[in-house]
Structure 1
């Protein structure tokens, strides 16, 4: 039995405990709170009940468990009530247009999606609820195909198995951005008490306003993929065998279908990772971005099946990692920036073949500010436009939508974290369509006796070599992170950033701080890109041409660094450029991040 009276000596905490025990109808999470009360663990109770998860990268993402600071049934209900109320208030047509809801294969995702659907129905909004697991791109694609007012995907993408998340898309098919995120957050806080029938899933699932759009949207999605191919006869004759892993997530069945529609011979699955499994038993991190450590079984499967190209989705299938077998027998895992270079070149080549009537000046490619500037180099030479945005596809998707409204053509967008938007049918990263474009490109290149690796060298020779050095440190203590960035902002004296690093070896020419809004390169010293005080992000430009960014992650306890140096097309000493960048990055990490002093945990091998 739950205690009826709790007296911790902290009235605010006592009130939240009482509230939680009244509102939460999930036996497991109620018991977690009861156990903390019995153990008199006031510190943990405060942490879980006096803090609330806030909308971050287009929604919520965090550890599953009891309390307002974690992902659970009650938080999903409160979040969905807030979103439903906000949507109905600012967009009265929502009650006619409806909202689309999907989910991945993680623990609790199925239930969270249905609790969300119940809340939307209680708010008077019809719901399109996918009847089974879907790739994340099916939600933004479905929003635009159905003319829905919004979309929700229950997923934590590539996070550890203990996490889950709640990603929100707006009626334009892109992830939410300000001011809607703040409006939704306020509406959540105004609708915390569960409404009548909030827990009644049986009634919700029998509601005539609930429908399953899976067959319709699947047909439209795969037809769109098939129609986008350059030459399906070429695909059918492909000499390549493609090894594909779903990383224990949702993508296997959808990738099988995509291969069929796009006329490729059947894929070679990594059988151990083919079936959805929320425990992710064969990988330490279900994140193909981690490279070789996450792809060991893919290498084994490919080697056993005479396969030279690996396509790896993350668990919700919105990202794509790629590896290629070299003549030496070793495997090259492409970075997100290298994939961006290849897919960007391919997007431009395809556009000239398929739509030569569209002027280059009406074509656009987009990348986040921490991604490689290779698209800018290609754009400068070929005559199309390049736009840089803040990190995250919520910014790239919304910029792309605005361009489409102006009658422009958006060919491609990418971020270095292996996220790719090919075309503009899905205004978000999409690992399934990226895999099809990659397979198509690899097939095309094989006809010319080229590999992905050799084509990448050609691209760099033509447009200039772009070398990156990116990684991260783990830090669970926000106060350490804040102190580190405060020190950078007050380096030699108050409001003074570093002027050099490495005892004068590397000179800083400009600093852009998108936390404070300062940008020394602008005449008025004000940043052009949007500013976010809730996240840390500082970019340094150096006299040798290097651009280096330090930032915190919106979804994980990480401090990330990104850097790039670009050679001129005629510059051939790439090794010297890589060495110089490596030295600069190590200097910045040691002098500005001070990993040992701050107790930062290096990226796992």
Structure 2
């Protein structure tokens, strides 16, 4: 069918037409397969593909397919046909042409996935807007060109890792092939690894960049290409734009980019596992004092762990062994990587009991009071603890941020009894709880607020270190935690080790639960009540309408925002719009935090102190909302604060997002 279809395309493939009886087009388009090459242990297979490449060059005599009245679509179809060599994605395009699915083709081919906060992340399918072989090669070629522009070292090196999703290993190998063909030394992990190991490896191996192929906690059909820069942090906006420009200048794959055979016996290629993972585990162990290690060793705490069918389990085992904790009790159905997430339809521990159901069953069976859960690439951590009612309380990211902030502070005081807290810093994103700010006011360290995303937190940490400050901790409400600076990103492995040790310490020394310790933190620094959730919306036009209305709230007049909720009961005192660059609270009406025009984000501060932020997600089709209200340490009417928070948040969502009007789907009910 494929050949018959292509022959309809206005004289395209005339050369093939002359010998169509002997040429199988899909076989002709197949990419080089490293497993085949390795099994053959010869260059015969690569030679065959070189012959196919020559045939492709002949076909390039015709540069334009005239299939539709849409010239842009015709051009992009032409590009895809001449550039793609993956038979599966090629077949998707061919089938769409055969069905005349022009709208689908226009969506796939006439817009590109933008290189942004998380590098690339999208569904795995054909098209320039998706994750596939061709897009990975184009991205790698552009990134390679940008690194060569920026870094003039004689020996350039990168580190590349991948998770357990479909095609992750292949995407990583394709990226490695591009860098090898440009004479980079490539440290390519030979097994699935946790995302935090890549930024750690960038610094450990003095690499110019690091790439992690992962879609983190997204559904099974997604994958991604996450980039770390020379400093071990994710790239900033200025680099994103320049990399995007270089990608657009290197869209046509080089012949060498497809040759996975170059990964065999290449002196520039190595597996960095033995250099990186033991060093990471040793650095983690150094964060614990000898008394704490001894306490862990003597404890018989039973802890249940789930890897969410991702990559975390082997590294959690190594971490717990290093800090002398008893081995975790694994959720057997979820400890091995599974690209279809067969027992975890929502592989995101943020989703609460929907995602942790099997872990709760396992904990109940083994009479364990604590559950630790990594997301599939092990950079986030969820925690649940049995409460007095015999049910598991799943901590929010803000609650865990408070607990880990307290724990890291206590650990610093133990390790550095003469250390100056005035020279220490903690960080949190702007949508996260301000509990660390309240701690800082009492304890004397400095608190710093950043934009959402660990790229901002990591780069802020680097700047603080340049100033001679010690960065103790940073967190984001989306269960992301950065303890110290060995990894300049969220790290679910180290967070799990510290939560388990904190739990052990509280249980053995203070006879307290994590929940009781959280209560003590609020009693000391003030109660912080927060809500964070989302609505689902896949229609960008609706999202645009919602935020346009909020920015022209007064009869359509530009730069006018809501003034109150609930018919004036709760008045808004300040508005900050980090999309447009407006802040009503500053003298020049400009925000202190960086402006990000590509992301919708508006924060409303109410006269009673409640702060609410509405924003879009950078990686998922979600309209997110966050709200927090804080009390002074002496204010003990916590239930009143919580009640006010719930009522106001419900009104904010209803009046500002208008979910009924736009048919927005709520977060799945636990």
Normalising by structure 1, we get a TM-score of 0.99
Distance in 2, Cα, partners of 1:97 & 1:404: 26
Are 2:183 and 2:268, in contact at CA under 8 Å, matched by a contact in 1?
Answer: no
- Residue 501 of structure 1 and its aligned partner are, at CA, apart by 1.1
Deviations 1:15-66 (A, max 9, x none): 1111101110100000000000000111011111110000122300011100
Any runs of at least 4 consecutive aligned residues in structure 1 with deviations exceeding 4 A, and if so which? none
Match of 2:624 among 560, 567, 573: 560
TM alignment of 1:155-554, pairs within 5 A: 155-230=214-289, 231-447=292-508, 448-493=510-555, 494=557, 495-554=559-618
Deviations 1:437-473 (A, max 9, x none): 0011001101210110000000000000001011100
Residue 197 of structure 1: SS of its match in structure 2?
helix
Normalising by structure 2, we get a TM-score of 0.89
- Residue 284 of structure 1 and its aligned partner are, at CA, apart by 2.3
- Residue 6 of structure 1 and its aligned partner are, at CA, apart by 4.6
Distance in 2, Cα, partners of 1:433 & 1:6: 56
- Residue 197 of structure 1 and its aligned partner are, at CA, apart by 1.1
Residue 155 of structure 2: SS of its match in structure 1?
helix
Deviations 1:266-322 (A, max 9, x none): 110000101110111112210001111111111111111121110000000000000
Query: Could you say which residue in structure 2 is the equivalent of 1:36?
Result: 96
Residue 131 of structure 2 is aligned to residue 71 of structure 1: yes
Match of 2:636 among 558, 569, 572: 572
Distance in 2, Cα, partners of 1:272 & 1:204: 34
- Residue 361 of structure 1 and its aligned partner are, at CA, apart by 1.2
Distance in 1, Cα, partners of 2:350 & 2:152: 41
Distance in 2, Cα, partners of 1:92 & 1:405: 23
Distance in 2, Cα, partners of 1:328 & 1:43: 54
Distance in 1, Cα, partners of 2:343 & 2:489: 28
Residue 228 of structure 1: SS of its match in structure 2?
coil
Deviations 1:86-113 (A, max 9, x none): 00111112x5140110000000000000
Residue 307 of structure 1: SS of its match in structure 2?
coil
- Residue 477 of structure 1 and its aligned partner are, at CA, apart by 0.5
- Residue 404 of structure 1 and its aligned partner are, at CA, apart by 1.4
Residue 198 of structure 1: SS of its match in structure 2?
helix
Distance in 1, Cα, partners of 2:325 & 2:347: 27
Query: Could you say which residue in structure 1 is the equivalent of 2:47?
Result: none
**How many residues matched?**
604
Distance in 2, Cα, partners of 1:505 & 1:239: 53
Are 2:576 and 2:582, in contact at CA under 8 Å, matched by a contact in 1?
Answer: yes
5+ residue gaps in structure 2? Answer: 7-11, 13-64
Distance in 1, Cα, partners of 2:243 & 2:265: 27
Distance in 2, Cα, partners of 1:245 & 1:449: 26
Distance in 2, Cα, partners of 1:18 & 1:32: 15
Are 1:6 and 1:17, in contact at CA under 8 Å, matched by a contact in 2?
Answer: no
- Residue 120 of structure 1 and its aligned partner are, at CA, apart by 1.3
Distance in 1, Cα, partners of 2:212 & 2:440: 34
Query: Could you say which residue in structure 1 is the equivalent of 2:142?
Result: 82
Distance in 1, Cα, partners of 2:249 & 2:189: 28
Farther off after superposition, 191-200 or 335-344: 191-200
Farther off after superposition, 27-36 or 216-225: 216-225
Are 1:99 and 1:125, in contact at CA under 8 Å, matched by a contact in 2?
Answer: yes
Name which one, 1 or 2, has greater alpha-carbon Rg: 2
Distance in 2, Cα, partners of 1:236 & 1:556: 41
Deviations 1:378-420 (A, max 9, x none): 0000000000000000000111111112221000000000000
Residue 207 of structure 1: SS of its match in structure 2?
coil
Are 2:116 and 2:237, in contact at CA under 8 Å, matched by a contact in 1?
Answer: no
Distance in 2, Cα, partners of 1:205 & 1:188: 27
Distance in 2, Cα, partners of 1:405 & 1:305: 48
Distance in 1, Cα, partners of 2:232 & 2:619: 21
Query: Could you say which residue in structure 2 is the equivalent of 1:19?
Result: 79
TM alignment of 1:2-17, pairs within 5 A: 3=6, 4=12, 5-17=65-77
Distance in 2, Cα, partners of 1:328 & 1:546: 30
Distance in 1, Cα, partners of 2:66 & 2:169: 34
- Residue 140 of structure 1 and its aligned partner are, at CA, apart by 0.2
